[in-house]
Structures are given as structure tokens and as C-alpha cells.
Amino acid sequence: MTKKEKAQFIIDSLEQIYPETPVPLTHSDAYTLLIAVLLSAQCTDERVNKITPHLFRKASSPQEMIKLSVEEIREIIKPCGLSPKKSQAIWRLSQILLDKYAGEVPCSFDALEELPGVGHKTASVVMAQVFGIPAFPVDTHIHRLLIRWGITKGKNVEQTEADAKKIFPKELWNKLHLQIIFYGRSHSPARSPKKNIDFITVAIGTKKAQLELKDS
């Protein structure tokens, strides 16, 4: 298959399996999604979804969040890991949203990425899923699978994102990145790839798939 043929096969296959793509992080608005994505760094969505209901019952807006101390926030989010840095970031970004944006989450990549604890991936998720702006957030699942599927040789997520944006239609980015995440978690987990040879990898015939099939 050519790279374009691989891309189309991926699109068609994932659309059949995942016609609906709910955002996996529980949230009610732009602010709560921003906080949830920030918390998901080096933490599973499942764990974040167990923590955020408690946090958002206490504070689901910037106005409410700054009334909590950093230590109170840290205690609630501790199971997510990196709680010292994340709690500081949550409190500080909430104050900035109040000071600069009247308590609203800005609809701008640059403005989001200037907030404490918010990197390009987090900003991309918010822009895509809240504001509907085309973006292709790349997490470890997407990075791993797009390499495995022969879409990229990216040595980092930045290169993988750039290659994905070149090959996949812009109007599909917001949905497709979630479809790939869902597929990776269900069909091609990183920890036991030989027991979970995914049919997309087999179908597009990457060298890695051929080797794994031979060894399994």
C-alpha cells in the first residue's frame, strides 16, 4: 500500500468501528476539560475521571478554584501523579483566566499554551473538542500506532503530528485522533503487542507487523 492508501484504509476502518467518538475525559465545559486534560499528563483517563468529580464538586470554575489553596487542590489530585506541579498550575492558570480573560477559556492556541501547565497537546484537545478548531493532538497511543502503520517515522510527537496533518484530511482531524486513541487502547496495547496484533497493522503489511506475526 502507498501511504495514501494506508491512510484511507485507516480512516475507513476506524469509522466502521468508532462512528461515535465521545471525549473520554468527563467534563461539562471548556474550563473543566482544560483541567481534566492537564491532569491526564502521565495519568490514565480512567483515573482522572475518578478524581475530577470530587475536584469539580468543590471548584468547577476559575472563580471557585482560586478560593481553594494549592495544598487543597494537591490533596484532591494526588492520585493523578505530579500533584505539586499540577496543583500549582491549576491555581495559577485559574487566576490568569480571571485576570486576562474574564474567567473564560481563550479560543487561541497561543493563549492556551501560555497558561501554566498547558502544552501544545492540551491546547489542541481543548481547541478541537470545545471550539471545533481542527487540531490533531498526538498522545503516546497515536505516536506509536502511526509509526507502526507506516504513516510517520517521527522520532517525537511533534514530527508525528506534522506527518499526520499532511496525510489525513483536515476535516477529519478532530474525530480521527480520538478514533486512533480508542483503537490503540482496545486493539493494540503497548504492553502486550504480540497478543494483540491489530488487524489494521496486519492489513497494511508493515514490516513490524510481519515480524510480529512470524514470531507469535
Grid coordinates representing 62 are: 476559575
User: Taking CA 54 as the corner, what is the angle to CA 21 and CA 117, rounded to the nearest 5 degrees?
Assistant: 70
Is pLDDT at 71 greater than 80 in this prediction? yes
The structural domains of the chain, ordered by start, are: 3-21+137-215 (1.10.1670.10), 30-129 (1.10.340.30)
121 is catalytic: yes
**Average pLDDT over all residues of the chain:** 90
Question: Cα–Cα distance between 120 and 142 in angstroms, integer?
Answer: 15
State percent of the chain over pLDDT 90: 76
Q: 121: closest CA among 9, 37, 200?
A: 37
Mean pLDDT of 39-54: 93
pLDDT tens digits, 74-111:
999 999 988 999 999 999 999 999 999 999 999 999 99
85 is catalytic: no
Amino acid at 67: K
- The pLDDT assigned to 154 comes to 83
- The pLDDT assigned to 213 comes to 41
- The pLDDT assigned to 181 comes to 92
Element housing 21 (H / E)? none
Grid coordinates representing 97 are: 483566566
Question: Cα–Cα distance between 103 and 124 in angstroms, integer?
Answer: 20
Q: 1: closest CA among 189, 137, 151, 161?
A: 151
DSSP state of 104: P
Contact 6, 163 (CB under 8 A): no
Higher-confidence residue of 10 and 208: namely 10
Alpha helices in 66-132 (DSSP H): 70-77, 83-101, 109-113, 120-129
Residue of 78, 85, 139, 208 marked active site: 139
Residue of 6, 86, 121, 175 marked active site: 121
Higher-confidence residue of 199 and 33: namely 33
Contact 113, 119 (CB under 8 A): yes
pLDDT tens digits, 170-212:
999 999 999 999 998 888 776 655 545 678 888 887 544 444 4
pTM: 0.85
SS3 19: coil
- The pLDDT assigned to 209 comes to 44
